[in-house]
Amino acid sequence: MPRPAHRSPARPARRTAPHRAGLRRALLATGAALALTAGAASAGATPLPTAATAAARADGLREVLFVGNNWDGTADVVESTGALARIGRIDVVPDKAQRLAEIYLNPVKLAYFLGVRLGPGEGHDQFVDDMYSTPDGSAMVVSRPSFADVVSIDLATGRINWRFPVSGYRSDHMAVSPDGTRVAVSASTANTVHVLDIRTGRQLGSFATGDKPHENVFTDGGTRIWNMAIGEVTTALDAPWLDWTKGDRRITVVDAQTFRQVKVIDMRQRLDAIGRQDLSDAVRPVAFSPDGSMLYFQVSFFNGVLEYDVAADRITRVADLPGNPATNPDRTTWVNDSRHHGLAMSPDGAHLCVAGTMDDYATVVDRTTLKEGPLVAASKPYWATVSGDGASCVISESGADRITEIDFATGRKTASTPVGDHPQRVRLGHVAADWTSPPAP
């Protein structure tokens, strides 16, 4: 398939791809409102998106999509269905001057700050990785990798409610519990996941992970947390025989109340068992089936999807998806070890939406056959989530600064909307029904 242009004429072309990932859908639901979030659902407990939307409207809230513009330090707020029209924008680094002053006065912090810029940031600071709204739509919680923290931002005023510095020197992917009260965030240089009270920012607990914790998912009605550690992704030691240099890559499952380890899953053993020694065991974005019985996931360097039976503890199928003939076969040119990065499942469990990051396309995969649909040209698609009505997949195109909607039923593109610089995570959430952008700081 032809390779599309990477950037709008207003900016120079660039080749981008994510350094980390993951994907889940968690239901934000407390008495005030329900918000269907992106990614893998809390397994076996996913209400229809239309029901969540109706509940939100009854409570005076508006369902929206938050789009994190990593290099801008902003989050665009867009319609959750239909034309994806932009509603407003939020500055997620209103304290930028203060944070930079602290960093430049601390040699160790400065070294890591510059390391993030030159490594996973591809020469840019990473100001927003992940974000979720609180159940009442009053605040947005954001992880900010370059500032190694998580902040809660008041959606009406744009001011910071609370700030939590993570262990180490970089924050990453997050997940919200199904009841909307807790947020889990990966501290990637400390091999730790913090679990915070979403209203106050108080730490409720933490747990150890493998090297470079990445994606987090609440499962089993919020009683378990799954963390996927992807290991080192910024080195050039990308040849298959050097895979051992990437570190301890494993899935850690913990009790969501006690934070005690329940299970560790080493996909290396499971991959070897099916004769796929050629595949990396670094699990990237994931999506659970609606009943939680199956886990679908992507791994570093691979253009495809794997299926894992949770109860049987084995990989059951592997889907090799098309590669773009124009993609450079040199794996060291694939940013942060990615090939395909972004995965979402339709609410009925019938389809998977796959972001073919380095191959510049997205496609809807039939879950029964694991066969792809039409290849929708996209410039470095970085993430995939589900629209508010559940009928479509929404991907972020990090190379073109836009988000694009793809119909699950037809596999065809239905809408696109321009957003800020280098969009990454896209999450469903809520704002007040009459919300407008907060004033500039």
pLDDT at 58 (0 to 100): 64
Q: How far apart are CA 323 and CA 336, in angstroms?
A: 18
- pLDDT single digits (tens) 99-143: 999 999 999 999 999 999 988 888 899 999 999 999 999 999 999
* Complete DSSP assignment for 190-253: TTEEEEEETTT--EEEEEE-SSSEEEEEEEGGGTEEEEEE----SSS--SGGGGGGG----EEE
Average pLDDT of the chain to the nearest whole number: 88
pLDDT at 217 over 70: yes
Contacts of 337 (CB under 8 A, 6+ apart): 19, 230, 233, 238, 246, 280, 282, 300, 301, 331
Residue range 414-437: mean pLDDT, rounded: 96
Edge-to-edge strand order for the sheet containing 413-418? 381-386, 392-397, 402-407, 413-418
Residue 315 clears pLDDT 50, i.e. is over it:
yes
Please give the residue that has the higher pLDDT: either 70 or 38. Answer: 70
- pLDDT confidence of residue 236: 86
What span, in angstroms and rounded, lies between the C-alpha atoms of 225 and 350? 24
Give the model confidence (pLDDT) of 359-390 as tens digits. Answer: 999 999 999 999 999 999 999 999 999 999 99
Whose CA is closest to 283, among 225, 323, 341, 237? Answer: 341
- Percentage of the chain exceeding pLDDT 70: 87
Collapsing DSSP states into helix, strand and coil, what is residue 315?
strand
The DSSP output letter for 283 is E
**Confidence label for 51 from pLDDT (cuts 50, 70 and 90):** very low
Q: Contact at 8 Å (CB) between 218 and 45?
A: no
| Rounded Cα distance, 86 and 11, in Å | 21
- Residue 230 gets the label, from left (phi > 0), alpha (psi -120 to 50) or beta, of alpha
The tens digit of pLDDT for each residue in 132-183 reads 999 999 999 999 999 999 999 999 999 999 999 999 999 999 999 999 999 9
Per-residue pLDDT at 200 exceeds 50:
yes
Q: What tens digit of pLDDT does each residue of 339-353 get?
A: 999 999 999 999 999
Is residue 137 within 8 A of residue 429, CB to CB? The reply is yes
Question: Which amino acid is residue 285, in one-letter code?
Answer: P
Contacts (Cβ under 8 Å, ≥6 apart) of 309: 293, 294, 315, 316
Q: What is the pLDDT of residue 121?
A: 86
Count other Cβ atoms within 10 Å, centred on residue 185.
Answer: 27
- What class does CATH assign to 27-432? mainly beta
State whether the Cα torsion 201-169-233-376 is positive or negative: positive
